[in-house]
Structure 1
Amino acid sequence: MTSQQDNITALLQGMKSSVSAFEQTKDRALLQQIDSDFQRFAQLATLFLIAERDSYYGFFLMSMTFRTNYAVSSIAGIRLGEYPPVFETNPLILLKYSLKEILYIFCHEIDHVVFNHPAEMVKSNPEGSPELFELFNYAADASVNDMLNNEIKQGNQFMQAPRGIVTSEVIKTKFQLPFVLPMESYHYYFDLIKHCEDMLGDQQQDGIAPIPGSEPGGKENGDEREGEGENANDSSQGDPADADNVVTAADATGNISDHAWTTAAESGEPASESAEAMAEAVKELLNEVNDMMGEESRGLMPARFATAVARANKPPILNWKAILKKYVGTIAADKTKTRMRLNRRQPRRFDLSGARESKTLKIVVAIDTSGSVRDEQVKQIFNEIFAIIARRSFELTVIECDAVIQRVYRLQSPNDLPDHVEGRGGTSFTPVIEYINERRYFRDALLIYFTDGYGEVSIPRPHTYRNLWVVLEKVSNLSVENPHGLVLPLEE
């Protein structure tokens, strides 16, 4: 055992004694001592992981600050909404675990970030359902803990799994599944259990790592575990020495599966924006850690770290709905003459009318009716379009065309859409382009052309404001060599 490990062990024993003394006396001066000792403990743990064990986790800890919070019931969590990110913990709970278990908890929280679980949780649960949140935690923990347990089997003996953690085997047993693969992504486990809200129940110890000392009888199995919990609930928040602070005791509801990630519902942000902000924070942290490492350290990293860095920096996959939403915000508006404004070109000519923008958005949707676009797909397409332009005044023109134009009509809502489209012959894009180019009305319109892609090689340039081609399958199916616009697949 190294002197560095001796120092960590001695410091941990001192903090455990302080926690025990606080639980007996409620002397808040002890909390300040615990705060100070924990900052030193975190630094020693960081150096220990970098110098002797696993720099993957040590460099992550170097990129974060540490904060104690006695008001929370979760053991630990990484706050991505602050810079640098904050590793926050309630020492009254965390210090009930052994040194190896604490290091496991540190690595557990880091791997959640590596796999982008905070952002994925928001995307999978935009309404903030507590039941769905709990199921996500089961899935995310099974993925992370299986991999950490495998590292232990491969020789990483510096950490030890707390008893009762969620694993793939726990998922199989708790949710009564016939077969569950180990060491899979959270997606795999979440898909298996996301409709199992009725199986959650109140079994707090079923698959959840209990606080040592919190169960009847107080003692936990394991040579390195020690300490017994006692209620230390007080009232409220702030400096640990403040008599009004809330102090959540070690035998409260906290457990290793209780991740206090901010949900979209709690933050007040739309789910998409909250998830995007979290993903960006994860990307920044991953890149900072990667840049901090030398080539040798990167070469020793698990493959999942390199994969996570590459995934975070991968250019986003564009989709036609996102592009349409962006276009709607930038498309030019009509100009109408008005005597209420001066003419911009000749402002001294009071006899000339000025111009103002009308707020009407013009969209023309061309549908390839050669037989490849199904009627239900057409309905779904227009549902998406109307959802995007719902807050704008708009004029939406539909052109149905196979080899020739079949119908041209206006839509005010998806309910106005005919039951079926006309055509089902061959495919030609030129009739639509010529129809648009012959009418000045479409000069400031957005053209969206839905097609399977098989048609002419060359088409006239559409005289519209912008053009977007949405292809049913692969964008490479579009036969047009120069579409004069962006080409995207119907599905991501």
Structure 2
Amino acid sequence: METYFDTLAKGIYEEAYKIITVFLKENKDNNSKIHIPNDFKEEFFSLVDKVTLSLMEDKDNFYGYFLFQMSREIRFDISSPTAVNFKGSKYVIYFNPIIFLTLTIKQMESTIKHEILHIISMHLIRAKEYKTKYGTLAVNMAMDVVVNTYLDHLPPYATTLEWVNLNLSLKLLPFESFEYYAEEIQTAIDLLEEDEDAVEDDSNNDEIIELDYDPEKTHDIWEDISDLDEKTLKEFTEKSINHSQKGTVPAYLESMITSLKNSKSELPWNLYLKRLMGTVESSKKKTITRRNRRQPDRLDLRGQLNSHKAKIAVALDISGSISDEEFNQAIKEVLSIVKNVNHEITIIECDSDIRRVYTIKSVKDIKDRMNVRGSTKFNPVFEYANNKKINLLVYFTDGKGEDKLLSIPQGYKTLWILSGRGDTLSLKEAYGTVKKLNTIEIKDNTFDMRDVPREGYSMNNQQRMHV
């Protein structure tokens, strides 16, 4: 029997369908943004409020209190009932009414819990790391299997362990690691693709309206936070968790929270750079001279070679903030990290302006620093990088420069590395990740007159004689 809630959801669904129908008739080119009337937003979010209240009254009220702290938005371009992101120093949960409103209230609760478990598992950050090793579909499915294992009342199309085992002919075990699921699922997907050359991605990433669930695109929205500092996200997540623990927390949730709090808070800069290189080195080409890495015994599957040259710009602030010892040690680590990647490294010496640009292949190519000591401005380097189609900018500085960039990074990632004497970056928005440089001993050969005796010659200054 249809409940009052079901009737309410059905009516709002019909209104949502009218909105997209009108939009499609009036916008044939699909380039415009959907206008969502305020009265529809109020009606839709009043229904979401009922789901939130139900969550807060449930024994798992943790989810209700966590949801209460999140911003809420409507997006018709996500291919799942809900999605989450981190924007403007807060978590945002998005709803696609066309998909969300077809669910029962219990299924709505589960899809919200699903997104919160992704947050607690730090999947928003981890997904980017593992997409360099596995395909997007395998990573998305593995993450969903992990969180859905703990949930009941899931939508019929949800990616569960049972669904994966049935559709990919696997025998995966429950409560295993994310990495275990990703590896096994990717291998199964590879086996299904008998002719890799025939597989084409005909999906349109610019779709304005999504009407159906698509597991390969459910987490595309996370690409918007690629440069978010992992430490910042972890600290904010812990704060949200602390505000959500109002009562007893289920054992599985307590275990997840403990794991998050005990995890290492921040990767050192060199390991973070290695992770970034995985995202830069993305272009592949097929080859018959190398066997497939995952299935070396299948001679019909071709291997892959890197066809993309990673263009890396290394900016060095020569205003006196970083010592030669610090930079030389750091550039050795950079070269070590990229040695197995087809790369091109350009050194940019800069202060208030770019003073010199040259390429290097090894440490011996590094030139003596120019004897120029001006103030520091970041903008000239970003102007240069925007015109050179680079993939990654690594900027060594003490962080003391402008508070706002005039040239916003375009199409490349940025890693700021502060010297041992630099504490913070002066920019209000970094447009990248900020890390600290490893502290090393700085040689100082300066002659200090305080070490010279001021009272003339003294026998006390001579080496002791043993008679």
TM-score scaled by structure 2?
0.51
2:376 corresponding residue in structure 1: none
Count of aligned pairs: 301
2:221 corresponding residue in structure 1: 262
Residues 71-80 or 94-103, more deviating? 71-80
Q: Does 1:70 align with 2:76?
A: yes
| C-alpha distance 386-72 of structure 1, shift in aligned 2 (>3 A) | closer
Which amino acid letter does the alignment assign opposite residue 134 of structure 1? L
In structure 2, what is the Cα distance between the partners aligned to 1:386 and 1:257?
Answer: 29
Written as runs of structure 1 = structure 2, the 5 A alignment for 1:305-384 is 305-311=256-262, 314-318=264-268, 362=328, 383=339
Question: Could you list the per-position Cα deviations for residues 269-310 of structure 1 after superposition, in whole angstroms to 9, with x for gaps in the alignment?
Answer: xxxx8264466335413322313434x445878223422540
- Which among 178, 192, 199 is matched to residue 184 of structure 2? 192
| C-alpha distance 286-41 of structure 1, shift in aligned 2 (>3 A) | farther
In structure 1, what is the Cα distance between the partners aligned to 2:128 and 2:338?
Answer: 27
Written as runs of structure 1 = structure 2, the 5 A alignment for 1:67-466 is 67-126=73-132, 132-148=135-151, 152=152, 160-177=153-170, 179-199=171-191, 248=210, 252-255=211-214, 258-262=217-221, 264=223, 267=224, 274=226, 276-277=228-229, 280-281=232-233, 283-294=235-246, 296-297=247-248, 302-311=253-262, 314-318=264-268, 362=328, 383=339, 391=347, 411-412=364-365, 464=443
Q: Would the aligned equivalents of 2:346 and 2:360 in 1 still touch at CA under 8 Å?
A: no
Which amino acid letter does the alignment assign opposite residue 163 of structure 1? P
Root-mean-square deviation (Å): 5.2
- Identical columns (%): 17
Q: Return the offset for 1:61.
A: 0.5
Q: Return the offset for 1:85.
A: 2.0
In structure 1, what is the Cα distance between the partners aligned to 2:272 and 2:54?
Answer: 46
1:52 corresponding residue in structure 2: 58
In structure 2, what is the Cα distance between the partners aligned to 1:300 and 1:181?
Answer: 20
SS of 1:66 mapped into structure 2: strand
| C-alpha distance 261-322 of structure 1, shift in aligned 2 (>3 A) | closer
Question: Could you list the per-position Cα deviations for residues 184-242 of structure 1 after superposition, in whole angstroms to 9, with x for gaps in the alignment?
Answer: 232110122334554567xxxxxxxxxxxxxxxxxxxxxxxxxxxxxxxxxx99xxxxx
2:281 corresponding residue in structure 1: none
Which amino acid letter does the alignment assign opposite residue 62 of structure 2? Y
Which amino acid letter does the alignment assign opposite residue 8 of structure 2? G
Question: Could you list the per-position Cα deviations for residues 395-443 of structure 1 after superposition, in whole angstroms to 9, with x for gaps in the alignment?
Answer: 999xxxxxxxxxxxx8449xxxxxxxxxxxxxxxxxxxxxxxxxxxxxx
The structure whose Rg is larger is: 1
- Which among 10, 18, 22 is matched to residue 16 of structure 1? 10
Q: Return the offset for 1:318.
A: 3.5
Q: Would the aligned equivalents of 2:75 and 2:94 in 1 still touch at CA under 8 Å?
A: yes
Question: Could you list the per-position Cα deviations for residues 38-85 of structure 1 after superposition, in whole angstroms to 9, with x for gaps in the alignment?
Answer: 211222222221223312211211111222223444321012123432
| C-alpha distance 85-363 of structure 1, shift in aligned 2 (>3 A) | closer
- The answer for unaligned runs of 5 or more in structure 2 is 24-34, 194-205, 277-313, 349-357, 367-419, 421-439, 445-467
Q: Would the aligned equivalents of 1:363 and 1:395 in 2 still touch at CA under 8 Å?
A: no
Q: Return the offset for 1:362.
A: 4.5
- The answer for unaligned runs of 5 or more in structure 1 is 1-7, 153-159, 202-235, 238-245, 268-272, 335-356, 367-378, 398-409, 414-445, 447-460, 466-492
Q: Would the aligned equivalents of 1:105 and 1:256 in 2 still touch at CA under 8 Å?
A: no
Residues 115-124 or 26-35, more deviating? 26-35
